[in-house]
């Protein structure tokens, strides 16, 4: 740990001696002299299945930093050149249907040799436990750089005066995106989450940092889960119910976006092809299990925010609003609809640039309210024109193909276990909980 502290101390000395005069912003009792962002892909600025500087440069933490300090430099992130890692998902075609596929090649780290930890230390695919215990593997290798310290340890070595913490999404997200809800595998037990979240918040508070935290959104309301209907209209005009691993899909069951290519080839269509695979369907029972865990996690986050005097961003309520009434901004209604809603990127899981700017403003509002500041909101106007205009022009009732390469790339980046990505049964466990049972 001493090696990391020395690097951090040298970097902090440079920051203090190289500062330039900037307009003062009223941040109230929140001090952004040293701001560190902890979290997962949502905090890292992940977009369309990839970590890429095009979107990292407008991650919600860097937008908060700019608004709170008036500075455009000094907040360091693990930037990756185009097309990012593992390679951005792209819109291959619109007519006769929308096809989303993984781009070829990978980008390269831009500032791998930064002589201190990154200010945005969030790791895509990280779960809460990883924040406390993981030092390598997956995108941890890129962001933690083999120093032998966890995300939390590296961030705290910078002695932050303020921190944001948005973690826990992947503790339920893997169950939603893989269609397999198994306690202890794709769902973190509630008691474990409670203990580890309290441990993380206590560690941040121990260095004197004030903080803003966000809760867990309803991951069963993201476009990856809600876009494809369980009903299909055949060329004959007949409407049929798709067939899953347990028979015809029922009310409350969802077909995942990753099933679209197989459906186009006949899978799941009664009398035409085999049933949809377990990993392509999220059953009503699994949805109930996921919701139960989210409720427990959010109760913990709310309690800890209250105990630690932290600002709380209700991301759960925000996603619920996007999925129901939508959010009206400047006369335009933004929704959670895939491609046409303006908020979610091509992977159906992560926000667009506009979505991240909107999230930054939710944090800023919560920080101002809690700490008595007057941090100005991010101007959303420049982001309005970066939201999939070509897809919108194609109309609202679109067919979708999310290729297998896109599915694998996305699931791997989210830390989904390899046996699920490869479509294999769970080692030593039943492949799917029976209907009525919770994961």
Question: CB–CB of 85/51 below 8 Å?
Answer: yes
Give mean pLDDT, residues 60-88. Answer: 96
Residue 229 belongs to a domain: no
Q: Residues 37-53: what's their mean pLDDT?
A: 97
Q: Does the pLDDT value for residue 398 go beyond 70?
A: no
User: Do 86 and 49 meet the contact criterion of CB atoms below 8 Å apart?
Assistant: yes
Residue 21 has pLDDT above 80, yes or no: no
185 vs 385, higher pLDDT: 185
Closest CA to 277 of 144, 148, 404: 404
268: in domain: no
Q: What is the pLDDT of residue 235?
A: 86
Banded pLDDT at 436 (limits 50, 70, 90): very low
For residue 438, is it within any domain? no
Instruction: Tell me how crowded residue 369 is: count the other CB atoms within 10 A of its CB.
Output: 12
CA 64 – CA 381 distance, rounded (Å): 16
245 found inside a domain? no
Of residues 362 and 422, which shows the higher confidence score?
Answer: 362
How is residue 303 annotated by DSSP?
H
Please check the confidence at residue 34 and state whether its pLDDT lies above 70: yes
Residues 6 or more apart from 438 whose CB is under 8 A from it?
Answer: 181, 285, 288, 289, 292
> Percent of the chain, pLDDT > 70?
88
User: Left (φ > 0), alpha (ψ -120 to 50) or beta: where does 408 sit?
Assistant: alpha
User: Per-residue confidence at 330, pLDDT binned at 50, 70, 90?
Assistant: confident
- Over range 372-382, report the average pLDDT: 95
The runs of H, that is alpha helices, within 265-324 are 284-308, 315-323
Higher pLDDT: 416 or 35? It is 35
Q: How confident is residue 388, by pLDDT bands cut at 50, 70 and 90?
A: very low
pLDDT at 385: 64
Per-residue pLDDT, 22: 57
How many Cβ atoms sit within 10 Å of the Cβ of residue 104? 9
pLDDT band at 399 (very low <50, low <70, confident <90, very high): confident
Q: How confident is the model at residue 11 (pLDDT cuts 50, 70, 90)?
A: very low
∠ CA 177-181-184, nearest 5°, is 115
Whether 35 has a pLDDT exceeding 60, the answer reads: yes
**What span, in angstroms and rounded, lies between the C-alpha atoms of 23 and 30?**
16
Residue 351 has pLDDT above 90, yes or no: yes
| Rounded Cα–Cα distance for residues 373 and 29 (Å) | 7
Instruction: Judge whether 437 lies within some domain.
Output: no
* Predicted pLDDT of residue 396: 35
Residue 235 lies in a domain: no
For residue 96, the model assigns a pLDDT of: 78
What is the rounded CA–CA span in Å between residue 124 and residue 133? Answer: 15
> Where is average pLDDT lowest: 8-22, 128-142, 164-178, 395-409?
8-22
Angle separating helix axes 190-206 and 284-308, nearest 10 degrees: 30
Per-residue pLDDT at 214: 98
Let me know: does 152 contact 1? Beta carbons within 8 Å.
no
Q: What is the pLDDT of residue 426?
A: 67
According to the model, what pLDDT value does residue 414 have? 84
pLDDT digits (tens, 9 = 90+) for 196-227: 999 999 999 999 999 999 999 999 999 999 99
Q: Which two tokens stand for residue 262?
A: 């197989």
Q: What is the pLDDT of residue 415?
A: 81
- Model confidence at 386, pLDDT cuts 50, 70, 90, reads low
Weakest-pLDDT range from 156-160, 293-297, 299-303, 422-426: 422-426
Does pLDDT of 390 surpass 80?
no
Residue 378 confidence (pLDDT) above 80:
yes
Residue 428: its pLDDT value, please?
55
What's the first-to-final CA gap in the chain, in angstroms?
A: 39
Predicted TM-score (pTM) of this structure: 0.89
Segment 291-315, tens digit of pLDDT: 999 999 999 999 999 999 999 999 9
Distance CA 65, CA 43 (A): 13
The better pLDDT of the pair 95, 9 is held by 95
**pLDDT tens-digit map of 260-273:** 999 999 999 999 99
Angle at 42 between CA 177 and CA 378, to 5 degrees: 140
Give the tokens for residue 107. Answer: 């980008």
Q: Is the pLDDT of residue 432 over 60?
A: no
- Is the pLDDT reported for residue 65 higher than 50? yes
Longest dimension (CA), the chain: 73
pLDDT for 15 equals 42
> Is 261 among the domain residues?
no
- Residue 152 belongs to what domain range? 2-81+112-219+285-331+350-388
How many domains is the chain built from? 1
**Residue 70 in domain:** yes
We report the CATH number of the domain holding residue 180 as 3.40.50.1110
């Amino acid at each position: 740990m001493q090696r990391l502290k020395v690097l951090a101390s040298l970097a902090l000395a440079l920051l203090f001696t190289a500062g330039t005069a900037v307009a003062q912003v009223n941040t109230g009792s929140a001090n952004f002299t040293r701001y560190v962002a902890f979290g997962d892909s949502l905090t890292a600025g992940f977009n369309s299945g990839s970590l890429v500087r095009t979107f990292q440069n407008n991650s919600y933490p860097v937008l908060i930093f700019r608004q709170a300090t008036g500075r455009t430099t000094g907040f360091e992130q693990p930037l990756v050149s185009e097309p990012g890692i593992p390679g951005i998902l792209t819109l291959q075609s619109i007519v006769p249907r929308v096809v989303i596929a993984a781009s070829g090649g990978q980008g390269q780290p831009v500032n791998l040799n930064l002589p201190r930890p990154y200010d945005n230390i969030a790791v895509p695919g990280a779960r809460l436990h990883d924040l406390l215990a993981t030092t390598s593997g997956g995108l941890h290798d890129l962001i933690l750089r083999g120093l032998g310290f966890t995300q939390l340890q590296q961030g705290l070595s910078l002695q932050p005066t303020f921190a944001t913490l948005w973690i826990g999404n992947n503790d339920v997200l893997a169950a939603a995106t893989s269609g397999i809800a198994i306690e202890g595998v794709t769902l973190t037990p509630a008691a474990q989450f409670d203990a580890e979240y309290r441990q993380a918040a206590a560690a941040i508070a121990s260095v004197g940092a004030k903080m803003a935290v966000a809760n867990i959104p309803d991951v069963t309301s993201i476009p990856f889960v809600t876009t494809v209907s369980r009903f299909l209209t055949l060329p004959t005009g007949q409407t049929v119910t798709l067939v899953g691993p347990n028979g015809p899909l029922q009310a409350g069951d969802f077909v995942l976006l990753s099933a679209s290519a197989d459906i186009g080839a006949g899978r799941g269509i009664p009398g035409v092809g085999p049933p949809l695979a377990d990993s392509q369907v999220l059953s009503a029972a699994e949805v109930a299990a996921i919701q139960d865990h989210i409720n427990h996690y959010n109760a913990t986050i709310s309690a800890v925010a209250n105990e630690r005097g932290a600002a709380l961003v209700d991301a759960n309520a925000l996603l619920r609003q996007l999925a129901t009434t939508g959010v009206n901004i400047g006369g335009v209604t933004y929704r959670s609809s895939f491609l046409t809603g303006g908020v979610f990127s091509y992977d159906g899981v992560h926000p667009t640039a506009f979505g991240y700017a909107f999230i930054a403003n939710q944090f800023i509002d919560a920080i101002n309210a809690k700490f008595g500041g007057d941090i100005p909101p991010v101007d959303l106007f420049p982001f309005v024109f970066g939201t999939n205009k070509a897809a919108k022009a194609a109309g609202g009732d679109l067919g979708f193909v999310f290729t297998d390469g896109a599915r694998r790339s996305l699931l791997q980046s989210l830390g989904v276990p390899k046996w699920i990505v490869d479509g294999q049964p769970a080692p030593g466990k039943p492949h799917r909980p029976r209907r009525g049972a919770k994961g």
